[in-house]
Chain A
Amino acid sequence: MQRPLSRREMLGICQGGFGALAFTGLFGALPFGCKRPKNLAASNELYLGPHYLPKAKNVIFLYMDGGVSQVDSFDPKPRLTAENGEDPRKKFKVDATQFDNVGKILKSPWEFKQYGECGMPVSELFPHIATCADDIALIRSLTSKFPEHTNANYFLHTGSGIQGRPSMGSWMTYGLGSENKNIPGYVVLDGGLIPPGGLDNFKNGFLPASYQASILKAGVEPVANITPREGIPKLQEEKLRFIEEMDQSLMGKMGEVDAVESAISNYELAYKMQSSIPELTEFSEETKATKKLYGFDSDDPHTRGYAAQCLLARRLVERGVRFIELTCPKVEADRWDQHNNLKDGHERNAHAVDQPIAGLLKDLKSRGMLEETLVVWTGEFGRTPFAQGADGRDHNPSACSMWMAGAGIKGGTIFGRTDDYGYRVIENEVTIHDLHATIMHLLGINHELLTFRFGGRDIRLTDVHGHIVKDILA
């Protein structure tokens, strides 16, 4: 009879996690009969890898904070042009909105054109992303449950409109572990705007703190406390050597105490992170052509800023970071939240992100990385087809356009349909839970099985909901 694994052995295996498999060449080819042990997650033991063959290794989540207008980006509605200026209340039932300042039907200020072999219509806002149409699966039928930013942000990020639940990045790293020991598995690249609801959008909630996002910020110190204070590198090394020696002699006296041993080995990790993190943001090894592709030479400083974030995202993927979220740059208008001055605000935001995102997709593709990387582009909700005041659009949780590209995604797909005004979804609704289920599916996780017991329940990211959107899968 085999003895059960000791905690120490478990620890060793878990630290490898997904990565251990990948390094041994087993990635994507699980041995026959290998099933997830019963109730492992439920009992809050560490989880040991995917449930089934994963398509994606990593996720880059491009968060369009504030809510991009679907009828101005990916969901053209000629009827808005035809009925521009008419009273929407005479056309359809108007839901309560957050600002309750319902204006007239507002046509899109931008023209749409068809792109790619698939002929996907994209507005003038995104000329660069449009060139990637054949790699994109467009969903025009995403809905949210909340018309307010904060709740909608929490909902999108954690599957619950209430503060304090684990973020999807936390769930993914909890489920799959990290591939790189020297970089955290869940990284948020702070482009300048932390979404309403604050850092709780990226927190671990009731999951252990190890699964919270590390915030990476452009600047001298990209991650909190990553820079040694010693000034002379040798000095820190000597100190760490002394610390190690003293700790080991303590262990000698104490005998086996797993927790203390792990804390000791943690220092090695932390030490390595000090060099691996700054190395990430060192772009000198990137070619000029690559940088140009992302928009490093743009006149718009926000485009350049976001370009750097997108390039950084690729470099994180190369280093095996599991889940990367990019927050929006702080352009001169507000986030995508154009309650007024839609034209100016959306144009500034779009200009900042369009080329870098297209650059990222193309760069990933040319390096063969897009096959293993899932890129997700979405806001927390859509906007109203009628004006707020004269020239803005209010929040609209009933319809939102989003897209995914890369690993396991059927490019050139358009899924879901809204009504003639782009106000409500009328076909193939995709809920936030469905979105989560689909992302998890692509990572090889069965969203119904990845649970964590808290407050007497085995809780899932998808609560008791969620269907995989199979039609967009390759």
Chain B
Amino acid sequence: MYHCQRYFCISIAFALLFLSSCIEDKNFAEPLPENVNFNFHVRPILVQNCYLCHGPDPSGRKADLRLDTFEGATAVLKEGGHAIVPGKPSKSQLVYRIFHEEEDQVMPPPESNYKLTAREKALLEKWIDQGAEWKEHWAFIPPNTSIPTSNNNAIDSLLDVRLLQKQLIKSPEADKYSLIRRVSYVLTGLPPSPSDIEYFIVDDSPRAYEKMVDAYLNSPAFGERWARHWMDLVRYAETKGHEFDYSIVGIWRYRDYLIRAFNEDVPYNQLVKEHLAGDLLDSVRFDSETKIAESPIGTAFFAMAEGTHSPVDIKKDEADRIDNMIDVTSKTFQGLTVSCARCHDHKFDPILTADYYSMYGLMESTRFTPIAAEQSIETEKSVKEIEDVKAYMLKLISDKWDEKEIVQNDLIPKEEVAADTTYQIIGDFRNADLDGWKSNGTAFGRRTTLGDPIIEKSSGKLLRLDEGRASSKLFGKRIFGSLQSQNFILDKDFIGIRARGEKSTIRLVIDNFQLIQNPIYGELEIPVNNGQWQNHVIDVTPWKGHKAYIEILPGGYQSHKYQLPEDAYVEAQYAITYNSPWPTEVKAQNESAPKQDWARLKRSASQIQEINNSLQTGKLPTSFPELKSTLDSTEQLAKKLTNSSFYYGITDGFGIDSPIFNRGNHQELSEEKVSRSFLSALPQGGVPFETNGSGRMEFANALLASENPLTSRVMVNRIWHHLFGRGIVETVDNFGLQGKLPSHPKLLDYLAIKFQKEDWSIKNLVRSIVMTDAFKRSTLRTEELIEADPTTIYLASFPVRRLEAEAIRDGILVASESLNDSLYGPPVATYLTHFMQGRGRPAVSGPLDGNGRRSIYLEVRRNFLEPMMTTFDRPIPFSTFGKRDVTNVPAQSLIIMNDPFVARQAEIMAKKVLDDRELSFDERISWIYIRTFSRPPTVEELSKAKEFIAMLQKMETSSDTETDKELELWKQYCHSIFNLKEFIYLI
């Protein structure tokens, strides 16, 4: 039936074609615009129908013609003539070809499956006739507005312009019950409490609405709601998926970080900076209450990618992980799909393969690591104090020593180490510095132990000055830190590390691969569990040619969860790479150092050796009783540095520029490398970053530059999307050429500028939008309105929407008064049904009701996702999802009808409503209605409830006692109420 209709349509379209090519005469359903706008009328046609063969990607380009630039479109064609001659449609080949009737001439060619409508053809022709004006893609033009951002009425007036154009009659303001339910759910994800409703209803002051809005903006639940929105963007998950679904340690701290950030209204530009480079900021943001360092937690979203153990092709594995990081980063912050340029230049957007690999370098230079959760304002202070005390000790000692006795000659010359070609030093810690290795966290400090005075605690006697080694107990034990080498290419058979320690680990990280275990990779992780110096060896013959770095850390990974036992420590003298056998002697690379400087950190191993010799022969005084107390104070200070909990995050490595992978193949690399830089099509783009690190900080700065046309627009659009259920740009994650055009471009620009001017305050913007008339409009629509604006895109009425998965579950918990509204903390373990099977299944199931916690606190295990959440369209966490699907499937009905969680909450609710024996029948129904629909029942609803319950009463039940029976009745009623559409829709 349908197909016949379609065929009929097509015939008509064909018939129309033969009529005339005089476009202006045609009667289109929507008349052609007076002035054809390139961005809004023409480019969408070109993108959709032409760019696959005539777009920016040269690899697939046909006939050497590109229609994505003015130059390309007006250039001389191979067969002569021009595709477009501005002002002259009759001379433009494009017009000739799109109107052609021959199958082998017409464009687009029939086999492409693309076909222009008569209106599209007419638009193209008229545009050329009007001069074929070319404009940059709208999203790349910086936003501009003439309206002052202080104008409170601006949003409504901008919406009104379109409403007026369309001659749409606005719906009246919604009633107060609907308003408070709407504001409460949209701002906090929870229904309003009965007392809030009452307060708002009786408050007839002009500021009642405003006060209500502010109350929800300031509710801690606001942060929970908006954090969850953000978590969709960064594919938030607490496990790594794949075969065994390993945990991502402590990643819930990132969730809590978001909640705090949204509640405290941390400016968006700060949030962005912290996400991209929070570990590199000069001024760290600390939590006002706990003093915990907030900024670095933002970067944890990078570490939330999936991960597999034992990939045979480790380089490909790295490429896939980085691809995901690029994908998420570019979509989330710029609304651009950079990962489309992995194999070839972007088919539609001005994003080059070179852009992709310049971002690739950024990610490749970034390393994964556990991070101590206790890092706080105190940490750095205590470290500094300990260092000061140590310097003071040295000064005390050196002051007492006769300078002449020490300074026999000024300079100990740099010792020439005979070239031994059988090995190469990767790191030598027998001198004062860490030899260019990176010290993460606190444990290894900023230098080795060389020259530290060793004092007998009881007497204060100086025994000797310490020899040099990197030590994780530089300040004491139970302090987290890791020591990481620079990147190097594996070119010899073995890696050797001379080390000692307890319950600690040396890891060789190849191609940034972290899930080290058997099969294949087990030997890349060596336990260090011996207090005596030992030579630890890793055979790297299978991985020659790969890039790698060495990581030394106290404690280690158990099932990929980092743990730091109390007595763990690790120390190392040096690391080498060699072909067997282990070299007979690895000579220290002695540096020259002025001898009298030994107490000022500029020491060399041989210098300390000589001093120690002098000490032993009694040439120097050794009694320093005054040092006893200083030892105590360093010990006390070190206690402040201890760590016991961790989250998985990132740290900066050493800058690597990536080659281009030809056609995305990691085995086919370009000769030249691409400098790390910002996206070339955007302001500040394409300029190589000057940094030895990853360049993430520079990337963040460019992204936040005031002239960047996307950063602000993308975020205000996300906020609009969450408030109205639909973005001004509907494709919230894609502002590129394939994205949808903004429905209200001027409004989008206005909001983008306002957002920036008002210090990127998310709450301010939310407030401004929620305060508009448009937001307050009723969802009720007249027949005419339904006809004229079926999708409510012009917002003459408020769009009806289904609540999100979390809001439905949380709403049920609120209704039954079972919601545990405590904030933060480790996730509640997933409730496992018997359908949730497979490797990595937790041994124990979590509670059915998730301990009554809000859904945001339920564990997100990639391989065991909560069925209720996914069924109600919470996205599967693998990429950025700024816009959730809203599906309608029987499984959703089945959950509310039959899931034990819902039934149980209905029972609890029934108990609560019966608890108050004083309540009349009508009052009971009202009690339930207020908690589920945020309004009192109507007279009709009361009588229907009465009928229903009376009918149930007549039915036989298995209940023995009257009380049981009454409870059963009300349980069935409450359960039915949860099943009403009004409960899961915002109406």
Contact = CB atoms under 8 A, between A and B. Distances in A.
Interface of A: 1-2, 5, 7, 13, 24, 30-39, 48, 96-100, 146-151, 161-165, 184, 190, 194-200, 203-206, 208-210, 212, 214-215, 217, 219, 224-232, 234-236, 238-240, 242-243, 245-247, 249-250, 253-257, 259-260, 262-264, 266-267, 269-271, 273-274, 449, 453, 455-457
12 contacts: A30-B3, A37-B6, A39-B113, A190-B837, A199-B838, A208-B887, A225-B899, A239-B975, A239-B976, A259-B801, A260-B981, A274-B898
Interface string B241-269: 11101000000000000000000000000
B867 A196 contact: no
B940 interface: yes
B886 A217 contact: no
What are the 10 A-B residue pairs with the smallest beta carbon separation, nearest first?
A164-B878, A456-B337, A198-B863, A194-B838, A270-B893, A34-B3, A198-B838, A225-B898, A270-B890, A225-B894
Contacts of B865: 199
A232 B982 contact: no
Nearest to A455: B337
Contacts of A208: 873, 885, 887
B746 to A, nearest CB: 25
Given A148-B310, A164-B876, A238-B955, A224 B114 contact: no
A197 B7 contact: no
Nearest to A188: B835
Contact of A224 (B1, B308, B800, B867): B867
A239 B893 contact: no
B353 interface: no
Nearest to B894: A225
Given A24-B1, A205-B878, 8 more contacts: A148-B243, A194-B838, A198-B839, A198-B862, A199-B865, A209-B887, A212-B870, A455-B337
B734 A455 contact: yes
Contacts of B4: 31, 34
Interface size class of B (residues with CB under 8 A): 35 or more
Given A148-B310, A148-B312, A195-B838, A239 B519 contact: no
Given A33-B7, A449-B113, A250 B982 contact: yes
B225 interface: no
Interface in B928-944: 940-941, 944
Interface string B860-889: 001111010011010011111000011111
B520 to A, nearest CB: 6
Contact of B891 (A224, A249, A456): A224
Interface stretch (B281-289, B440-448, B777-785): B777-785
Contacts of B327: 455
Given A164-B876, A232-B955, A217 B976 contact: no
B951 A161 contact: no
Contacts of B972: 230, 235, 239
Interface of B: 1-10, 12, 29, 48, 113-115, 241-243, 245, 306, 308, 310-312, 320, 324, 327, 331, 337, 339-340, 346-349, 519-520, 542, 733-734, 736, 738-739, 779-783, 786, 790, 800-802, 833-840, 862-865, 867, 870-871, 873, 876-880, 885-895, 897-900, 903, 940-941, 944, 948, 951-952, 955-958, 972, 975-976, 979-982, 984-985, 987
Contacts of B887: 208-210
Nearest to A203: B876
A33 B783 CA distance: 36
Contact of B312 (A34, A97, A229, A234): A97
B886 A259 contact: yes
Contacts of A453: 738
Contact of B900 (A229, A243, A269): A229
Nearest to A162: B320
Given A163-B878, A198-B245, A205-B876, A247 B306 contact: no
Nearest to B343: A464
A234 B320 contact: no
A456 B348 contact: yes
A266 B893 contact: yes
Given A97-B312, A455-B337, A263 B779 contact: no
A227 B898 contact: yes
Given A151-B308, A200-B862, A238-B955, A273 B894 contact: yes
A96 B3 contact: no
Contacts of B948: 238, 242
A246 B888 contact: no
B7 A456 contact: no
Contact of A194 (B519, B837, B976): B837
Contacts of A274: 894, 898
B979 to A, nearest CB: 5
Nearest to A42: B48
Contacts of B897: 225, 228, 236, 240, 267, 270-271
Contacts of A146: 312
A162 B802 contact: no
Nearest to A31: B3
Nearest to A242: B948
Most buried by B among A37, A39, A210: A210
Nearest to A220: B834
B308 A457 contact: no
A99 B782 CA distance: 68
A99 B542 CA distance: 13
A206 to B, nearest CB: 7
B337 A149 contact: no
Contacts of B781: 255
A455 B740 CA distance: 12
A217 B736 contact: no
Given A255-B783, A266-B889, A270-B893, A239 B979 contact: yes
Contact of A226 (B29, B801, B898): B898
Contact of B833 (A33, A147, A194, A224): A224
B985 A260 contact: yes
B796 to A, nearest CB: 14
A30 B871 CA distance: 35
Contacts of A1: 12, 29
A219 B520 contact: no
B655 to A, nearest CB: 27
Given A1-B12, A273-B894, A199 B800 contact: no
A33 to B, nearest CB: 4
Given A39-B48, A259-B886, A224 B863 contact: no
A228 B327 CA distance: 43
A434 B331 CA distance: 31
B976 A100 contact: no
Contacts of A198: 241, 245, 838-840, 862-864
A30 B4 CA distance: 10
A450 to B, nearest CB: 12
A159 to B, nearest CB: 14
Nearest to A2: B9
Nearest to A222: B835
Contacts of B114: 38-39
B249 to A, nearest CB: 19
B647 to A, nearest CB: 22
A447 to B, nearest CB: 14
A157 to B, nearest CB: 13
Contacts of B29: 1
Nearest to A43: B48
Nearest to A339: B519
B981 A250 contact: yes
Contacts of B885: 208-209
A254 B780 contact: yes
Contacts of A161: 320
Contacts of B782: 255
Contact of B800 (A7, A226, A247, A259): A259
Contacts of A260: 800, 981, 985
Nearest to A395: B312
B428 to A, nearest CB: 33
Contacts of B245: 198
A2 B835 contact: no
